């Protein structure tokens, strides 16, 4: 069976409803209720200027995950995010490598977040890297299906539990176009789908794709090696043979990406926005 057939049509809808059922009857019932424009406005405006306490959960992949010391200096942006918020905010990084928007649900990882997330908490969701892996049926999720998972499982089901979803577009890879002198848009179909569903649902959006690309354009292609996991042989004990990785970050890159995320959050007008430390918000 092709990857497209695995997640298309009625079978996809049946899976979405089944996943919702695992969250409890209240959440399942809310999946079919469109988010109204008036509610979106209320959510954004009532939070402006208000203090926030709570937890930011991160649902994502290896670009955001927390790495043990055995992988140093490899790091994910979610690993560094708490440094950019006040002590009122706890960051619970549930990102894990190799997962797509679909497999994160199928493996029960989103349900585990929904089991503990509370009103006033936040769910940051960033996928796209693994969704685009056409050659891997376990991960591949066509852009149209990715959009519906974001809509039904990550946005609507999270709201049904009283928490706030924040859609994060997939962070850029080190993909440089010498003819333009600019970095390419990574996973453009998924970036577009994430932006579209956030607008349609009135959900908060962090355009990390655009922000990371602008940052990379600013520092240039050679300096970008210090952001991604480009290491010389013998430079770090955990990578004795060196590595040239254009997807994952070394510690400096993770710090910079986390700063970009928090800077965008500071401008969203959410209660959480007021908890971004000034060094990030500028």
| Cβ(282)–Cβ(260) below 8 Å | no
Nearest CA among 85, 62, 24 for reference residue 275: 85
Are 132 and 66 in contact by the 8 Å Cβ rule? The answer is no
Two tokens at 52? 């926030």
- DSSP code of residue 169: P
Q: Which two tokens stand for residue 77?
A: 């942006």
Catalytically annotated residue among 101, 131, 248, 262: 248
Q: List CB contacts of 12: < 8 A, sequence separation 6 or more.
A: 145, 148
Instruction: Give yes or no: 145 in active site.
Output: no
Catalytic residue among 35, 60, 61, 62: 62
Contact 247, 239 (CB under 8 A): no
CA 227 distance to own-chain centroid: 18
62 is catalytic: yes
CA angle 25, 29, 34 (to 5 degrees): 155
Close Cβ partners of 178 (under 8 Å, ≥ 6 residues apart): none
Catalytic residues: 62, 245, 248
């Amino acid at each position: 069976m092709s990857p497209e057939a695995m997640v298309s049509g009625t079978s996809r809808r049946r899976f979405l409803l089944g996943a919702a059922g695992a969250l409890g009857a209240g959440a399942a019932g809310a999946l079919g209720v469109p988010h109204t424009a008036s509610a979106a406005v209320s959510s954004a405006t009532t939070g402006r200027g208000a203090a926030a306490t709570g937890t930011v959960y991160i649902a994502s992949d290896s670009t955001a995950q927390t790495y043990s010391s055995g992988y140093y200096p490899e790091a994910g942006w979610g690993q560094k995010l708490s440094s950019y918020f006040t002590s009122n905010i706890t960051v619970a990084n549930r990102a894990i490598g190799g997962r797509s928007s679909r497999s994160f649900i199928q493996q029960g990882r989103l349900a585990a977040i929904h089991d503990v997330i509370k009103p006033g908490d936040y769910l940051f969701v960033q996928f796209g890297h693994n969704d685009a892996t056409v050659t891997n049926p376990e991960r591949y999720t066509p852009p149209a299906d990715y959009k519906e998972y974001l809509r039904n499982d990550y946005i609507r089901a999270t709201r049904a539990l009283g928490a706030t979803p924040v859609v994060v577009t997939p962070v850029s890879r080190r993909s440089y176009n010498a003819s333009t002198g600019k970095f390419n848009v990574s996973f453009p179909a998924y970036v577009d789908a994430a932006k579209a569903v956030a607008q349609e649902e009135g959900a908060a959006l962090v355009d990390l794709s655009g922000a990371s690309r602008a940052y990379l354009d600013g520092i240039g292609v050679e300096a970008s090696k210090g952001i991604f996991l480009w290491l010389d042989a013998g430079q770090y004990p955990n990578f004795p043979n060196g590595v040239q990785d254009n997807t994952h970050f070394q510690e400096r890159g993770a710090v910079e990406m986390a700063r970009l995320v928090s800077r965008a959050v500071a401008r969203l007008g959410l209660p959480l926005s007021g908890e971004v430390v000034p060094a990030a918000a500028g």
